[in-house]
């Protein structure tokens, strides 16, 4: 199939299912895109959510530098975290860097440092590459895929430097940045100075920035620490940022963990690891606000997931706060139909407390949700309920 700007090819990996048998695991698509700005073709790897073809939803896009090295594990991290409801489903676009000379040219601003020009000749093409991404690549992706207006840029080493450069050059192009052990000291730390300048000039920047540093002889990479210090001094509204020293990682091993932690940080409003604690701090309203605000930042109109409410109810029942559990469980039966098994659990808890009236109430509600719940039917009969008043069983 021929695309507007290139040819789509499947990227696949085979594995054996037994002697004489094989199958194919499809990771994504390969696309060749012809750039008028760069006057050359560039290779892309594109991964879509598992349900993409069957649905009509639109998705955020993660733009990944050094695609040939980082695409496979990044696409799988995105699938894994989305399946675990830690982040939304996303489209991943891996941009291949090509040969070392091409990578150096594309991902670096010009340097005036003699040793950098000796060992990294041909540098300085970052602005042209950013123009390609903003003027050709992003329009191509948004024209050919169902996207949301939410973009993430991920880069490692020179790619991390490029991510910082993109933030200071076109602050509104991306909504979030993951800079993994960036080469922030490039050109005598010029990008750090640019960060300080842009943070002082802008009045508001609604963006997320996650920066990591690897272990550099027992310390965090010094130039990345300087970058973090520049961010620490900023009072810019709307910018959320986090710096993490991954002391157990080397510069070569840090990308995988950096992508994972970066996505979890950017989408920290997408999930709650301890919903019962948040409930204790502010009630169900605090949980609703957490998901509403987290969704809104990523461009979603989001409500509290039913599973999160189930966790709160389970925790309240476990510690004996049955009235609170009931309030949460029945807060909005139309929007959040109460799970029959949790109604069962609440009925059992009331029964163990000796409150037969409430036990009967919740066993009845459980049976309404699941007329084939033999346990609830049996318990109601034992408690003297008239079998003729109970919901009829449904044919299996």
Q: Is pLDDT at 299 greater than 60 in this prediction?
A: yes
The predicted pLDDT at position 21 comes to 54
The predicted pLDDT at position 17 comes to 36
In a domain, 108, yes or no: yes
Cβ atoms 192, 223 nearer than 8 A: yes
The predicted pLDDT at position 202 comes to 87
In a domain, 371, yes or no: yes
In a shared domain, residues 328 and 192: no
Q: Quick one: pLDDT band at residue 392, thresholds 50, 70, 90? A: confident
In a shared domain, residues 289 and 251: no
In a shared domain, residues 123 and 47: yes
In a shared domain, residues 236 and 298: no
Report the pLDDT averaged over residues 120-146.
97
In a domain, 333, yes or no: yes
CA 136, CA 159: separation in Å to the nearest integer? Answer: 19
Structural domain tally of the chain?
2
pLDDT digits (tens, 9 = 90+) for 24-61: 777 899 999 999 999 999 999 999 999 999 999 999 99
In a shared domain, residues 215 and 351: no
Q: What's the pTM value of the predicted model, to 2 decimals?
A: 0.88
Locate 355 and state its tokens: 């409150």
In a shared domain, residues 202 and 301: no
Give the residue with greater pLDDT, 20 vs 156: 156
pLDDT digits (tens, 9 = 90+) for 191-244: 999 999 988 888 889 999 999 999 999 999 999 999 999 999 888 888 999 999
Which domain CATH number covers 351? 1.25.40.10
Out of 269-278, 290-299, 330-339, 378-387, least confident range? 378-387
In a shared domain, residues 190 and 332: no
Which domain CATH number covers 183? 3.40.50.1820
In a shared domain, residues 315 and 184: no
pLDDT digits (tens, 9 = 90+) for 144-161: 999 999 999 999 999 999
In a domain, 1, yes or no: no
pLDDT digits (tens, 9 = 90+) for 165-178: 999 999 999 999 99
Q: Quick one: pLDDT band at residue 2, thresholds 50, 70, 90? A: very low
Locate 193 and state its tokens: 């100075």
The boundaries of the domain holding residue 300 are: 275-389
């Amino acid at each position: 199939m021929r695309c507007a700007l290139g040819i789509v090819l499947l990227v696949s990996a085979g594995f054996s299912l037994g002697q004489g048998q094989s199958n194919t695991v499809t990771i994504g698509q390969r696309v060749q895109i012809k750039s008028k700005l760069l006057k050359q073709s560039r290779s892309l790897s594109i991964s879509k959510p598992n349900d993409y073809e069957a649905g009509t939803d639109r998705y955020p896009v993660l733009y990944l530098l050094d695609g040939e090295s980082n695409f496979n594990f990044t696409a799988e991290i995105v699938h894994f975290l989305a399946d675990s409801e830690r982040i939304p489903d996303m489209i991943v676009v891996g941009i291949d860097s090509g040969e070392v000379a091409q990578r150096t040219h594309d991902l670096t601003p010009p340097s005036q440092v003699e040793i950098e020009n000796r060992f990294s000749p041909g540098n300085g093409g970052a602005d042209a590459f950013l123009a390609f991404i903003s003027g050709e690549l992003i329009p191509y992706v948004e024209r050919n895929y169902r996207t949301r207006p939410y973009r993430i840029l991920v880069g490692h080493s020179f790619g991390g430097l490029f991510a910082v450069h993109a933030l200071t050059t076109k602050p509104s192009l991306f909504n979030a940045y993951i800079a993994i052990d960036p080469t922030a000291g490039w050109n005598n730390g010029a990008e750090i100075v640019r960060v300080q300048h842009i943070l002082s000039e802008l009045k508001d920047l609604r963006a997320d920035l996650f920066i990591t540093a690897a272990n550099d002889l027992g310390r965090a990479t010094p130039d990345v620490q300087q970058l973090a210090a520049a961010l620490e001094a900023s009072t810019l509204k709307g910018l959320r940022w986090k710096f993490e020293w991954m002391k157990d990682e080397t510069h070569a091993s840090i990308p995988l963990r950096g992508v994972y932690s970066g996505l979890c940080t950017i989408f920290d409003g997408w999930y709650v690891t301890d919903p019962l604690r948040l409930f204790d701090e502010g009630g169900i309203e605090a949980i609703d606000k957490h998901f509403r605000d987290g969704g809104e930042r990523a461009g979603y109109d989001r409500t509290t997931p039913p599973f999160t409410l189930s966790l709160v109810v389970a925790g309240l029942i476990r510690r004996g706060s049955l009235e609170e559990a009931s309030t949460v469980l029945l807060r909005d039966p139309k929007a959040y139909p109460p799970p029959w098994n949790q109604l069962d659990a609440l009925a059992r808890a009331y029964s163990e407390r000796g409150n037969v009236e409430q036990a009967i109430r919740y066993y009845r509600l459980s049976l309404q949700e699941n007329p084939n719940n033999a346990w609830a039917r049996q318990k109601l009969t034992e408690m003297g309920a008239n079998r003729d008043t109970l919901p009829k069983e449904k044919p299996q």
